[in-house]
Structure 1
Amino acid sequence: MHMYARDAANTLARLAKGFPIVAIAGPRQSGKTTLARAQFPDKPYVSLENPDEREFALSDPRRFLDRFPDGAILDEVQRCPALFSWLQGVVDDRQRMGDFVLTGSSQFDLIAGIGQSLAGRVGRVELLPLAQSEMRQAGCLPDTLDQLLLNGGYPAVYSRQLAPADWYGNYVSTYLERDVRQLLEIKDLALFQRFLKLCAARTGQLLNLSALGADCGITGVTARQWMSVLEASYLVTLVQPYHRNFGKRLVKTPKLYFLDTGLAAWLLGIRDVATMALHPQRGALFETWVVAEQVKQAFNLGETPGISFWRDHAGHEVDLIREDALRVYPTEIKSGATFATDWANALQKLKALAGQGVADPRIVYGGDASFKRDGYHVVGWRDLG
């Protein structure tokens, strides 16, 4: 098993000092178990995917937990929701920080369990696949942008001698048949796979759920329900439009982004670098990658991403806006490898409207060099992290 140093490790260590339970949430195969075991090597490890352990935990939760006087790592704990209220009693009695470590791959069940029984007792880290900074540190960052977009960030793609297409094909069928079917009780898997592929074709676009449903042959209500499960499983995120109005009518629709370009590329039928280089969705996949990197950076620090996009009805758009209490930090995303001066037009428009509130405007692009130009930071893809 390859070990990648994860940026979230410091956040995990910090939370374990202040909460009796730490939970690591994130998609399947993002490295949650590996991180938990590396960070807490002295704690016994139990997977609730194991039928014997699950049966024991379900039938006699008190005795199940009595085996762990010094705490434990409980993997895929959402498989056994009854444990949450028993855990509450144990940690309240012991009053020990960093006592139990939970992992889970579905936000729904994990957060429901935490919210009901463990409110105030859990520090939560969300772990997505490898960020660019983590790949660079591990020496596995691909040489070309097209290879990076094709590979995505799942650790197994880098630690095993497997073509990304083989790994993602297996991931989708396993993930579909296990998790999504459990959450949605879907009868028609082919229909859901069609839905997934239609979502991938819309990554980086405004999301119209009724149109998506119509294209897929399901109702808008079903489309919304399925989309919320993709969100809860950390496969996609919806980025909301920027809310502050600078005297212009703004769009109200969110944008859909996959959180991993390798998965999106596989769903789009892209199987090799040559296809990626020429694919009409390459620009959308690059934008998807930049947005996902921003989400990972926030998650790894234990923060919420706080990102949006700005678009007025005249069609001016700034792809990514981060904000803090005082300022907005806009980023324009361009997949081209050669810098063009008109790339800054939308940033200038936003600056004219927002005035002093705009700081550190950036253009992230698909080229190699990074430089400053007319008050903008132009950032090559390799320097994003």
Structure 2
Amino acid sequence: MDGYKHRIMDSLLEKKLQAKGAVLIEGPKWCGKTTTAEEIAASKILLARTDVKNNFKSLLEIDTDVALSGDTPMLIDEWQTVPKLWDAVRYTVDHRRKMGQFILTGSAVPDKEAEEEREHSGTGRFAWLTMRPMTLFESGESNGKVSLGNLFTTPGKILEKNELKLQDIAFLICRGGWPMAVGLPEEAALEQAFDYYDAVTKEDITKVDGVKRASERVQRLMRAYARHQGTQASIATLKDDLKNNDTATLDEDTISSYLEALRKIFVVEDMPAWNPNLRSKTAIRTADTRYFVDPSIATAALGLGPADLMNDLKTMGFFFEAMCVRDLRVFAEALNGKVYHYRDKSGLECDAVVHLRNGQYGLIEVKLGGETLINEGVEILTSLAKQIDTTRMKAPAFKMILTATGEYAYRRPEDGIYIVPIGCLKQ
């Protein structure tokens, strides 16, 4: 496809298709799932169109083999709108006994009724992939001179130049990683996140499970969630925030149900707690950390633009952390890893721990930049590393301060900690 920006997902999808009969790509709408799948698909059925969906449902009931007879791999977009499709694809994969037959994409988790219609789980036939909005490397803003993967395999000295300034970062936080926004004039690019926010609150959150929810209530909750992004705020805390900042409040059951709906359409993606082996008996906090799948959702919910962030650097720091978490999640998945958050009862906190399947892990603190904040990050990383019991688990593969600014990415000679601007990082 002309103008297609290559995604980290491309190679992951190819590998999964070689190993399974069907691959399911899930993620928020507008993040590029269909476009990426179309790059490799030999045929496609786009069920977002009502006429196509109705015709396909009828054909599926009459003759499954004919309905799924397209060239392979066959892309079926928004598959969850036809619940019977799951078992039909599973049956076809079993019958053909070949890999790489289907790519299913969906921007919502099937509702409970659809789940109950399934006869089989798909284990052994399906592979799952999560797609998120673009990282700065994928959208072309990061030069990719520093590889996260290389820090695990071949750590050593680095010295790479960073081109992004603080004003650039403020814009990129608010623009988000939406593929359709990349390359647009600034005003039009910033508008995409507001359009996404409007679509979520006025339409998408009802479609997910058929439960009618007032858009203004969803908006109030998303504003409260945005104010607590990057924290382990409880449902009770969100309720108190709503009470203090809005004319009406929501009860805890309603907040929980709304958040579950937002998870089902991949708007929020909380971060689990990391549980390492420690030398001491320090109690580790196990609550998840609150994040939107893209930082621009939070800025849109609060009505903020780049200038607002530049005028409030403390607030900008929270949203910058959310952008770093988005990119780290994409990079970690490509490395067979996951991203966690660490916090203990003493208040020691590490913004991100990238933990790979092979047991290696890296400790990462996120800071806007500047000597004072970097030194704070160094102290945190050093304190946490000292607490880890390396007789029971590996020592950290690396320690890194991920920054918004700074002329260079480099490794500190005195302690080996990497200082890496986000504008230099790739998977």
Does TM, scored on the shorter chain, surpass 0.5? Answer: yes
Question: Corresponding residue for 2:151?
Answer: none
Residues 166 and 323 of structure 1: is their aligned pair in 2 closer, same or farther, counting only changes over 3 Å? closer
In 1: Cα distance, 2:286 partner to 2:40 partner: 42
Residues 269 and 137 of structure 1: is their aligned pair in 2 closer, same or farther, counting only changes over 3 Å? closer
Higher RCO, 1 vs 2 (CA within 8 Å, ≥6 residues apart): 2
Q: How is 1:123-138 mapped onto 2 (pairs within 5 angstroms)? A: 123-136=127-140
Secondary structure of 1:229's match? helix
In 2: Cα distance, 1:33 partner to 1:326 partner: 33
Aligned equivalent of 1:145, options 169, 190, 193:
169
Question: Corresponding residue for 2:178?
Answer: 154
Encode CA deviations 1:77-106: one digit per residue, 9 max, x unaligned: 101111122222222222222112111011
Q: How is 1:81-120 mapped onto 2 (pairs within 5 angstroms)? A: 81-109=83-111, 112=115, 116-120=120-124
In 1: Cα distance, 2:334 partner to 2:198 partner: 28
Report the TM-score when normalising by structure 1: 0.89
In 2: Cα distance, 1:27 partner to 1:169 partner: 15
- Higher mean displacement: 68-77 or 200-209: 68-77
In 2: Cα distance, 1:341 partner to 1:118 partner: 49
In 2: Cα distance, 1:108 partner to 1:98 partner: 23
Question: Corresponding residue for 1:366?
Answer: 404
Would you say 1:13 and 2:14 are equivalent positions? Answer: yes
Encode CA deviations 1:99-153: one digit per residue, 9 max, x unaligned: 12111011345994888353321122211111122122899x9762112212111
Question: Corresponding residue for 1:192?
Answer: 218
Partner AA of 1:155 in structure 2:
P
In 1: Cα distance, 2:252 partner to 2:273 partner: 21
- Higher mean displacement: 78-87 or 211-220: 211-220
Aligned equivalent of 2:192, options 153, 157, 167:
167
Question: Corresponding residue for 1:348?
Answer: 382
Aligned equivalent of 2:238, options 209, 212, 215:
212
Residues 171 and 64 of structure 1: is their aligned pair in 2 closer, same or farther, counting only changes over 3 Å? farther
Partner AA of 1:230 in structure 2:
L
In 2: Cα distance, 1:345 partner to 1:359 partner: 17
Aligned equivalent of 1:269, options 303, 316, 321:
303
Residues 186 and 348 of structure 1: is their aligned pair in 2 closer, same or farther, counting only changes over 3 Å? same
Encode CA deviations 1:304-362: one digit per residue, 9 max, x unaligned: 52x22222223221111223454442111111344542331111211221154233111
Partner AA of 1:274 in structure 2:
A
Q: How is 1:250-329 mapped onto 2 (pairs within 5 angstroms)? A: 250-271=284-305, 273-279=306-312, 280-300=314-334, 303=336, 305=338, 307-324=339-356, 325-329=358-362
Residues 353 and 137 of structure 1: is their aligned pair in 2 closer, same or farther, counting only changes over 3 Å? closer
Would you say 1:203 and 2:241 are equivalent positions? Answer: no
Question: Corresponding residue for 2:419?
Answer: 378
How far did residue 260 of structure 1 move?
A: 0.8
Secondary structure of 1:180's match? helix
How far did residue 201 of structure 1 move?
A: 1.3
In 2: Cα distance, 1:191 partner to 1:314 partner: 36
In 1: Cα distance, 2:70 partner to 2:108 partner: 27
In 1: Cα distance, 2:35 partner to 2:164 partner: 22
In 2: Cα distance, 1:326 partner to 1:44 partner: 39
In 1: Cα distance, 2:45 partner to 2:64 partner: 10
Residues 75 and 231 of structure 1: is their aligned pair in 2 closer, same or farther, counting only changes over 3 Å? same
In 2: Cα distance, 1:22 partner to 1:49 partner: 19
In 2: Cα distance, 1:326 partner to 1:166 partner: 42
Residues 96 and 319 of structure 1: is their aligned pair in 2 closer, same or farther, counting only changes over 3 Å? same
Partner AA of 1:370 in structure 2:
A
User: Does the 8 A contact of 2:181 with 2:188 survive in 1?
Assistant: yes
Secondary structure of 1:27's match? coil
In 1: Cα distance, 2:253 partner to 2:79 partner: 29
Encode CA deviations 1:229-254: one digit per residue, 9 max, x unaligned: 32232222222222235321232322
Partner AA of 1:94 in structure 2:
R
Gaps of 5+ in 2: 144-162, 243-248
Gaps of 5+ in 1: none
Question: Corresponding residue for 2:146?
Answer: none
In 2: Cα distance, 1:288 partner to 1:172 partner: 17
User: Does the 8 A contact of 1:127 with 1:300 survive in 2?
Assistant: no
Residues 267 and 100 of structure 1: is their aligned pair in 2 closer, same or farther, counting only changes over 3 Å? same
In 2: Cα distance, 1:154 partner to 1:241 partner: 27
Q: Percent of aligned positions with the same letter in both sequences? A: 21
Secondary structure of 1:361's match? strand
User: Does the 8 A contact of 2:368 with 2:403 survive in 1?
Assistant: yes
Secondary structure of 1:267's match? helix
In 2: Cα distance, 1:84 partner to 1:119 partner: 12
